[in-house]
Structure 1
Amino acid sequence: MGDGLGIDGDVVALTARLVDVESVSREEKRLADLVEDALRGVPHVRVDRDGDAVVARTDFGRAERVVLAGHLDTVPIAGNLPSRLDDNGLLWGCGTSDMKAGLAVQLKLAATLTAPNRDLTYVFYDAEEIAAEFNGLARLVDHHPDWLAADFAVLMEPTGGRVDGGCQGTLRVRVETTGRRAHSARSWLGENAIHKAAPILAVLAGYQPRKVEIDGLVYPEGLNAVMIEGGHAGNVIPDSCAVTVNYRFSPDQSEAEALDRVRDIFAGFHVVPTDSAPGALPGLSHPAAAAFVEAIGVPPAAKESWTDVARFSALGIPAVNYGPGDPTLAHTREENVPVAAIVAAEQKLRQWLTG
């Protein structure tokens, strides 16, 4: 098989090639095929595939195994393809930051690390940017947990070149109100469920989020309305309303504890959970994590979002986030990544895995 991506060449050019292969969530097959084809041409890795997830593993008999993982998919394109490299050393395009620069680093290392000091598992998976039920890493956890077995994992999510430990948990609930429908010309005969939602919004406006310190990292929480539904017609008093609330919680809480907290905050209202995912503790005290942080040479920080490190944590594998992209540019029309950041990420990982 040929290597249409050229994974053993320049890592910046490889990033651009990956960006130019459209891979919006649920449409990753072409990119997964290219990644699989390229990796099957690497003699020192074994390659497996499940759906549009590709896993490549070395087997050198090293004392420790590390996972490098990243998702193939992007959010929908916003007029920001094909990629372009400007005179300031910035590579622009959908997925440059989140997270095809990280994928390029993984692929370059997979192709060229022929004598690493640790065995390596390279994971490329689908559908991270959409509902958890489609997540390719979750599918691998269910179908092939043995493919993911390791002592430590690095998720190549964009972090601006620093190590982000752990991640927040996320919980979504519907806080519901009910009333009595009536003609709006005789509103006194009804009970307006939308009006009854005013105290919910007041609670949210006055909420003071916690800031929780774990292993020296500070995780700021958030409790926000992200959607409100209610109403039937322009002349009807509504008898139902629901405010969807997203709670981003510190990893010192379980999903059940987070739900209990939200129910306490909205005591007296009907609270219906719709989606949740656990957080992950930093795990920076693990020897492999400590060695990684030292190798990167930048003080670590808390991951202020949910990421798939939580899936590795649930498997008992300490995991961190580290990637060359800027997380504040993820999902934007202006998404870009500095060329120097891609090169630096590859060099630092290579030094850690060979030094």
Structure 2
Amino acid sequence: MTLDLRSDPITLTAALIDIPSVSRDEAAIADAVEVALREQTAGFEIVRNGNAVLARTNRGLPTRVLLAGHLDTVPIADNVPGHFTTEDGEQVLYGCGSVDMKSGDAVFLHLAATVAEPVCDLTLIFYDCEEIAAEFNGLGRIERELPEWLDADLAILGEPSAGWIEAGCQGTLRARLTVTGVRAHTARNWLGDNAIHHLAPILQRLESYSAREVEIDGCVYREGLSAVGVSGGVAGNVVPDEAEVLVNFRFAPDRTLEQAAEHVRSVFDGLNVEFELTDGAPGALPGLTSPAAKDLVEMVHSHGGGGVRAKYGWTDVSRFAALGVPAVNFGPGDPNLAHKVDEHVPTDQITTVAEILRNYLLGKH
């Protein structure tokens, strides 16, 4: 498929949706993006890295803004190709990735082709494998192999935020809590010690857990500790000798990953439980104090955007924060609709985000 970057970003979003790009199968969409950038933009250095496409200008301007979006989606659920409908008098575009985040990618690609004289140098990164395990994330690979490409005064990720600036992000960790017992035949269950029964106090702690709300730079982050998996059992006639609960902790960015892990351990103090941290990623502070971020906030407030709020989910802004690069989430689409079978985006949000970013890149306040 040939992508027309100068077409309306709504049309471009629909074209991107129609290129299937489930995680680890992004070659076709990366090819289309690379060809379009090479043929339809001027002044960009363009590099292909795996199934990521990178482009940047080097005009020697005083600031650099980085626009980043992932090309992959979750598995298709009979929602490709996309389609338009009208709901309550508004045009809506349905399709896998319409929210997360091909509408954001379309805005960035359109701006790369149509903003001829931005007031800042631009870097664009379209990357692969964001929706699966962090070890496969294309942005992480770029950080390892092409770290200079991530230098910027502000990074804007096109994650769905319904036209709001969603500042920073919460951290996330997962841990396995294992309890043990003694295996026995259920006909003589008194000879055993049922490990599944020992999960009860763990679940009671989770049920009674009171999560904090933390305000940072005017953004309120709400933590959450949840059981996300339970396993145990040997056979229908065996008292099990091991059982486990998987928990996920979403934590405010004022905690480090280590502090978050220690907090989760403390929740289960006094219980005979083996605690194993299986994976985790730190959050990111709001990052709204840099001049480039302040200008974007002003632009959103003055040109019909939604304002500023905290990002509850983890996003790749965390990677930029760790590098000392202020980063925000800003894109079309309701994040609550991401990954749903009926994923859809109001097309006026695509238009609004594109116009706000156009004015921002042109320095029009």
**TM-score strictly above 0.5:** yes
Contiguous gaps of at least 5 residues in structure 2 = none
Which residue in the other structure is 2:288 paired with? 284
- Displacement, 1:288? 1.1
Structure 1 residues 3-55: Cα deviation after superposition (integer angstroms, max 9, x where no partner): 81011112111100000000011111100011111111122111011111111
Correspondence for 2:279 among 275, 298, 303: 275
Query: Amino acid of the residue matched to residue 177 of structure 2?
Result: V
Which residue in the other structure is 1:81 paired with? 80
1:44–1:114 contact (8 Å) kept in structure 2: no
Which residue in the other structure is 2:19 paired with? 21
- Three-state SS of the structure 2 residue aligned to 1:142 is helix
Correspondence for 1:147 among 149, 153, 166: 149
Query: Amino acid of the residue matched to residue 3 of structure 2?
Result: L
Structure 1 residues 311-335: Cα deviation after superposition (integer angstroms, max 9, x where no partner): 0001110000000111011000111
- Three-state SS of the structure 2 residue aligned to 1:86 is strand
Query: Amino acid of the residue matched to residue 270 of structure 1?
Result: E
- Three-state SS of the structure 2 residue aligned to 1:200 is helix
TM-score, normalised by the number of residues in structure 1? 0.98
* Equivalences for residues 123-202 of structure 1 within 5 A: 123-202=125-204
* Whole-Å separation in 1 of the counterparts to 2:185 and 2:292: 66
- Three-state SS of the structure 1 residue aligned to 2:13 is helix
TM-score, normalised by the number of residues in structure 2? 0.95
Which residue in the other structure is 1:65 paired with? 64
* Whole-Å separation in 2 of the counterparts to 1:250 and 1:169: 6
- Displacement, 1:113? 1.4
1:158–1:322 contact (8 Å) kept in structure 2: yes
* Whole-Å separation in 2 of the counterparts to 1:255 and 1:143: 25
1:62–1:117 contact (8 Å) kept in structure 2: yes
Structure 1 residue 30 corresponds to structure 2 residue 28: yes
* Equivalences for residues 321-336 of structure 1 within 5 A: 321-336=329-344
* Whole-Å separation in 2 of the counterparts to 1:78 and 1:23: 13
Query: Amino acid of the residue matched to residue 255 of structure 2?
Result: Q
- Displacement, 1:266? 1.2
Which residue in the other structure is 2:54 paired with? 55
Query: Amino acid of the residue matched to residue 25 of structure 1?
Result: S
* Equivalences for residues 169-248 of structure 1 within 5 A: 169-248=171-250
Contiguous gaps of at least 5 residues in structure 1 = none
- Displacement, 1:161? 0.3
* Whole-Å separation in 2 of the counterparts to 1:148 and 1:4: 28
Give runs of ≥4 in structure 1 deviating > 3 Å: none
* Whole-Å separation in 1 of the counterparts to 2:47 and 2:116: 19
Query: Amino acid of the residue matched to residue 215 of structure 1?
Result: D
Moved more, 294-303 or 244-253: 294-303
- Displacement, 1:81? 1.4
Correspondence for 1:251 among 231, 253, 265: 253
- Identical positions, percent: 54
* Whole-Å separation in 2 of the counterparts to 1:85 and 1:21: 16
* Whole-Å separation in 2 of the counterparts to 1:299 and 1:159: 10
- Displacement, 1:61? 1.2
Structure 1 residues 63-90: Cα deviation after superposition (integer angstroms, max 9, x where no partner): 0001000000001111111111113300
Which residue in the other structure is 2:5 paired with? 7
* Whole-Å separation in 1 of the counterparts to 2:54 and 2:333: 22
* Whole-Å separation in 2 of the counterparts to 1:186 and 1:292: 69
Structure 1 residues 273-293: Cα deviation after superposition (integer angstroms, max 9, x where no partner): 001001000011111111111
- Three-state SS of the structure 2 residue aligned to 1:124 is strand
Cα root mean square deviation, aligned: 0.9
* Whole-Å separation in 2 of the counterparts to 1:9 and 1:80: 23
How many aligned positions are there? Answer: 353
